[in-house]
Amino acid sequence: MTAPDGWRLETTPFHAGEIAAQERVGVAEQVAGFARKAVRPYLTQELRDFYEGLPLVFVGHVDPRGRPWASVLAGGDGFIASPDETTLVIDARPAAGDPLAEGLVAGAPLGLVGVGIGNRRRNRVNGRVASVGAGGVRLAVEQAFGNCPQYIRPRRNDAVAPSRGAGPAAEALTGLDDRARALIARSESFFVASHSRGADPGAMTDGADVSHRGGKPGFVRVEGDVLTVPDFAGNLHFNTLGNLLLEPRAGLLFVDWETGEALMLTGAVEIVWDGPEVEAFRGAERLWRFTAEAGIRLPAAVAPGWRSGEPSPNVRLTGDWEEAAATLAAEATRRAWRPYRVSGVADESSVIRSFHLEPADGGGLLRARAGQHLTVRAPAEPGGAAIVRTYTLSSAPSDPCYRISVKREDARGDAPAGVFSTWLHAALKEGDVIEARAPAGGFALDTAARRPAVLIAAGVGVTPMVAMAREVANEGLRTRHVRPLTVIHAARSATERAFADEFRRLETATDGRIRYVSVLGRAEPGDVFDAEGRIDAALLRSLLALDDYDYFLCGPPRFMQAQYAALRSLGARDARIFAEAFGPAALERTPDDGAAAQAPVAEADEAVVVFADSGLEQRWSAGDPPLLDLAERHGLQPEYGCRNGACGACAVPLRAGRVAYRTQPSVHVPEGEALICCAVPAAGADRIELGL
């Protein structure tokens, strides 16, 4: 018969532990809807065919002492049969020494995961042993569902059934020996068994489970008998972590696919939901620590000689523990200047050149948010003083290096050529070293948000937008949620336009969820573009449904002010418009109706400013320029970048007194610091002391 889709029962397919994990990360309501369609108490015909074509299946089970174990059953093609939609028959026996042999009794809960040979298909079944006989193990299916193919590396073997004849005996372990640690350290995948005994006694949500985990070789850290595992984005069911919340014990299975040997472990688990190591490990959303209490080495669990296919594309978005350690070490120097080596140079247009930067001090790459900037410094001539500039990152946070894309500022009329940008284009080459501080800035996009976003840029103002679009696409691959983006980019001409090909590749890769619109001020025959002229209210109205978007603006001040006015005239809320300005001008905003304008901190009438490190003391009066100008006027040379509170390069310790800001900084200012480019003494502060 043809079974209806979805969960047939009125109760949820999840137990209390799974729901608690979902609630903790804020996805319980989201998951509840689609899970009732994805999780079924029976096998679809597609799943029945899938299991009948497997040469291996991985099994989660619990021994009489209540310890979970993960095992593998191998029998070659056709060793699994599905006589009906609620039954699997497995004609294979466990390897000698595998605890599964004792656990195959009527009523015992089993969890199965099948991984497609030669592809990345993965499907799971939970159920109970109905009977064991000469024909194999008969499993009564209670839950069946597909899993995402993330982090799986396909493998092939022509002789997939291992020999069960005489051979080396299984070896019991009380902890990890060097051989076990070596296997774990080089593994790029393992299987984890858990169980929810007692969650809902007798219900279909109460039982054993097994799941796959994958990453780069070295993604599992080994310290003595303790393993630390990064937990990457998955299907949000939290079957494994939900079980571990109720019963913090797990069984792990590592397979040496070349020799056929397997390492089975069982032990206690602690979940680490957040913390520095979670932040430092690229792609990790949490960690869990496993302490091995017992183990078994099976010399011939599977046939030897498996051939590996290409790694999962998801793996490139993840890190390893060596990288995480370097990142943690680099965090200690977040406020310091660090050397970066130019690892690549590429022309993005006739006036914009990209520089790829990698740490030259052996430290890690500090994670940025999409849209943040990098403050760099270098002398523009031999023996000259270092020049400080700030450039928005055009790389995504998940990229393995920083990328800054710099416009060459040529002389125009009375305006001289840009000294630093000219030097970068003319002199900086692959292998050279410049210095930079950690990424900073509050102009950033939340890739997890559901609200569509519109990115509007002019010229080199496209740099944060390409970073945002790259990260939205990368996160879409990692989490299967692509935040809808419309990128509208204005350029003088096609030759000056940067990243058009990159945006179009992202548009294709996301099936149009990222939409790219190119606006050229001056089009030539053969140019590929979407509109000619300027970005104005009429063009925005024609391109957008003017729904509840978030808007991000970047470009010269006059451009951004014009876009802000156009968006407000079309009904966009001020609170939904975010901007990053070039130069000293800040966006002039019109508050939304009913929104209280932020009252600025009053300035002092007079104050004494002490530059403590330099031994200088100067008087400041109402109407005088900010403290950076005061310092420069008296011979000091503080570092700075933007001079408008956007980059943070001018931050100095504020040791006494209070400051007010004439331009509200867009970058976070830590307690006890002041951005002197836009800071002045605050009312009531007769004396302020700066660490300068």
CATH of the domain at 403: 2.40.30.10
pLDDT of residue 640: 81
Section 7-22 average pLDDT: 80
Q: Is the pLDDT of residue 6 over 70?
A: no
Tokens of 10: 């009125």
Average pLDDT score over the chain: 90
Which residue in the block uniquely carries the two structure tokens 């430092």? 280
Q: How confident is the model at residue 221 (pLDDT cuts 50, 70, 90)?
A: very high
Q: How confident is the model at residue 34 (pLDDT cuts 50, 70, 90)?
A: confident
Tokens of 75: 């029998």
pLDDT of residue 135: 84
Determine how β-strand 550-555 pairs with β-strand 453-458: parallel
Query: Is 10 inside a domain boundary?
Result: no
Determine how β-strand 485-491 pairs with β-strand 514-520: parallel
Domain end among 409, 436, 463: 436
Determine how β-strand 352-359 pairs with β-strand 402-407: antiparallel
Reported as a single tens digit per residue, the pLDDT across 393-428 is: 999 998 989 999 999 988 777 667 789 999 999 999
- Say whether both 340 and 318 belong to one domain: no
Whether residue 61 contacts residue 109, with contact meaning beta carbons closer than 8 Å, is answered with yes
pLDDT of residue 3: 43
Tokens of 374: 């990098």
How many Cβ atoms are within 10 Å of 507's Cβ, its own excluded? 18
Q: Is the pLDDT of residue 443 over 70?
A: yes
Nearest by Cα to 72 from 243, 228, 248, 252: 252
Q: How confident is the model at residue 360 (pLDDT cuts 50, 70, 90)?
A: very high
Angle at 206 between CA 202 and CA 208, to 5 degrees: 130
- Say whether both 233 and 275 belong to one domain: yes
- Say whether both 316 and 338 belong to one domain: no
List Cα–Cα distances, 422 to 405, 409, 418, in angstroms: 13, 7, 6
Q: How many domains does the chain have?
A: 4
Whether residue 516 contacts residue 506, with contact meaning beta carbons closer than 8 Å, is answered with yes
Section 603-625 average pLDDT: 91
CATH classification of the domain holding 492: 3.40.50.80
- Say whether both 547 and 648 belong to one domain: no
Angle at 464 between CA 405 and CA 401, to 5 degrees: 60
pLDDT of residue 664: 79
- Say whether both 92 and 111 belong to one domain: yes
Residue type, 40: R
- Say whether both 42 and 128 belong to one domain: yes
Section 168-182 average pLDDT: 94
What is the DSSP code (8-state) at residue 96? T
pLDDT of residue 202: 52
Determine how β-strand 249-255 pairs with β-strand 262-272: antiparallel
Instruction: Give the separation between CA 287 and CA 276, rounded to whole angstroms.
Output: 11
Domain end among 293, 323, 353: 323
Angle at 200 between CA 197 and CA 205, to 5 degrees: 80
- Max mean pLDDT among 28-32, 93-97, 435-439, 492-496 falls in 492-496
CATH classification of the domain holding 162: 2.30.110.10
What is the DSSP code (8-state) at residue 692? -
Determine how β-strand 402-407 pairs with β-strand 433-436: unpaired
pLDDT of residue 205: 55
218 half-sphere exposure, CB direction, 13 A CA radius: 9
Q: How confident is the model at residue 141 (pLDDT cuts 50, 70, 90)?
A: very high
What is the DSSP code (8-state) at residue 311? P
Section 487-507 average pLDDT: 98
Instruction: Give the separation between CA 346 and CA 354, rounded to whole angstroms.
Output: 5
Query: Is 91 inside a domain boundary?
Result: yes
- Say whether both 314 and 349 belong to one domain: no
Query: Is 515 inside a domain boundary?
Result: yes
List Cα–Cα distances, 478 to 29, 151, 233, in angstroms: 21, 10, 6
Nearest by Cα to 579 from 664, 650, 680: 664
Q: Residue 397's domain spans which residues?
A: 333-436
Section 486-513 average pLDDT: 97
Query: Is 252 inside a domain boundary?
Result: yes
The residues that bridge with 112 in the sheet, in sequence order, are: 59, 125
Instruction: Tell me, letter by letter, the H, E, C secondary structure of 274-288.
Output: CCHHHHHCCCCCEEE
In degrees and rounded to multiples of 5, residue 209 shows phi and psi of -150, 155
Q: How confident is the model at residue 2 (pLDDT cuts 50, 70, 90)?
A: very low
The residues that bridge with 402 in the sheet, in sequence order, are: 357
CATH classification of the domain holding 662: 3.10.20.30
- Say whether both 175 and 318 belong to one domain: yes
pLDDT of residue 33: 76
Q: Is 425 exposed, middle or buried (0-12, 13-18, 19+ CB in 10 A)?
A: buried
Query: Is 4 inside a domain boundary?
Result: no
Section 421-436 average pLDDT: 95
Query: Is 328 inside a domain boundary?
Result: no
Query: Is 494 inside a domain boundary?
Result: yes
Element (H, E) at 330: helix 321-331
Domain end among 436, 461, 495: 436
Reported as a single tens digit per residue, the pLDDT across 226-275 is: 999 999 998 888 999 999 999 999 999 999 999 999 999 999 999 999 99
- Say whether both 493 and 621 belong to one domain: no
Reported as a single tens digit per residue, the pLDDT across 73-103 is: 998 788 999 999 999 999 998 999 999 999 9
Enumerate residues 6+ apart whose C-beta is below 8 A from 29. none
Q: Is the pLDDT of residue 483 over 90?
A: yes
- Say whether both 252 and 180 belong to one domain: yes
- Say whether both 397 and 477 belong to one domain: no
- Say whether both 319 and 339 belong to one domain: no
Query: Is 441 inside a domain boundary?
Result: no
Instruction: Give the separation between CA 467 and CA 646, rounded to whole angstroms.
Output: 18
Q: Who wins on pLDDT, 367 or 432?
A: 432
Q: Who wins on pLDDT, 296 or 622?
A: 296
Section 474-481 average pLDDT: 89
123 SS3 class:
strand
Contacts 24+ apart (CB under 8 A), 606-610: 606/686, 607/657, 607/681, 607/685, 607/686, 607/687, 607/688, 608/686, 608/687, 608/688, 609/681, 609/687, 609/688, 609/690, 610/656, 610/687, 610/688, 610/689, 610/690
Instruction: Give the separation between CA 402 and CA 382, rounded to whole angstroms.
Output: 25
Nearest by Cα to 375 from 593, 646, 54: 646
Reported as a single tens digit per residue, the pLDDT across 637-673 is: 888 877 878 777 888 999 999 999 988 787 778 889 9
